Homo-oligomer: A and B are copies of this chain.
């Protein structure tokens, strides 16, 4: 195959240009309780969901914080690749229910409604490749993982949407959007209606997960290996690929999450109203 050598050389040069060291640690790295951020000298940002160095126990404060956190990550051009991962043997699997406040109150829910939309818009506005390293149960907010470009999973990882139907409310926070795009109309409805567990290998056969790794060490190693490989793509090419790839998802999220979260809130309010009516009718 003929290739124009000067162009190839230029590509090599260009990619090397972007690999200068970054020594500073931005202030936002330590501003968010349940996100641990570290960055390699060549710009690979690892974002870990975590609570007290263990698996994350998601709170209402996190829901609020993530809007800002994802915005800061996206604005910081020193991030060249982002890796999203969990801690220990859970990716994202616990909620501190009481911390969410009274989700049956429309005015309280309104905050959730706005934050939920904007955190996904900000997350998907990140202008560099994002790799999810799913290191265990992804049973809460798995849509975060699915906004990534490449999803790696350890053998014991699995996906499920646990909280919505356990609470009895509509799964409308974007989870409906990402899974429909990922596995199609019928599989995603079954997944959500029945709280189905999808294992890492099933997810691979469905085309969501790119690679299944034997354990979490291998997973972490592979995530960084892949990140380094993507770093060899010249800066602008790398940025434009990500943005181009995320385009359709962003539009779907913009279109569907406002509605989804609205009816999720309605279904929450209704639980309370129905209970009150039942109490009255006794």
B273 touches A266 (CB 8 A): no
- Comparing A36-44, A186-194, A215-223, the segment that makes contact with chain B is A186-194
Contact B237 A169 (CB under 8 A): yes
**Within the complex, which residue of B8, B57, B208 is in contact with A2, where a contact is CB–CB below 8 Å?**
B57
Size of A's binding interface in residues, CB under 8 A: 117
Chain B residues within 8 Å of A111, by CB: 77
Q: Which of A229, A258, A274, A275 has the most CB of B within 10 A?
A: A274
Q: In the complex the two chains form, what is the Cα distance from A170 to B162 in whole Å?
A: 32
A77 to B181, CA, bound (A): 31
**A61 beta carbon closer than 8 Å to chain B:** no
Are A1 and B107 in contact, CB atoms less than 8 angstroms apart? no
Residues of B near A249 (CB, < 8 A) are 185
A 158-197 binary contact with B (CB < 8 Å = 1; else 0): 0000110111111110001000111111110110111000
Q: Is A110 an interface residue (CB 8 A)?
A: yes
Task: State the CA gap A255–B252 with chains docked (Å).
Answer: 11
CA distance A58 to B12 in the complex (A): 24
Within 8 A of B (CB), among A118-142: 118, 121, 125, 127, 129
A21 at the binding interface (Cβ < 8 Å): no
Check B272 against A266 for contact (C-beta < 8 Å). no
- Interface hits, A234-282 → B, CB 8 Å: 234-237, 239-241, 243-245, 247-251, 254-256, 258-260, 262-275, 277-278
B151 x A186 contact (CB < 8 A): yes
Nearest to A260 among chain B residues (CB) is B244
Counting chain B CB atoms within 10 Å of each CB, the highest count among A75, A187, A210, A259 belongs to: A259
18 further interface pairs, Cβ-Cβ under 8 Å (given A13-B278, A182-B186, A269-B269): A1-B94, A7-B97, A7-B103, A7-B271, A8-B166, A8-B167, A9-B275, A13-B275, A14-B271, A105-B273, A106-B273, A165-B237, A182-B185, A186-B210, A234-B271, A237-B270, A244-B263, A266-B266
Q: Could you name 8 residue pairs across A and B whose Cβ atoms are closer than 8 Å?
A: A3-B97, A7-B97, A68-B75, A106-B236, A106-B267, A107-B270, A149-B190, A186-B207
Give 5 nearest A-B pairs by CB, closest first: A11-B168, A4-B97, A10-B271, A14-B274, A240-B263
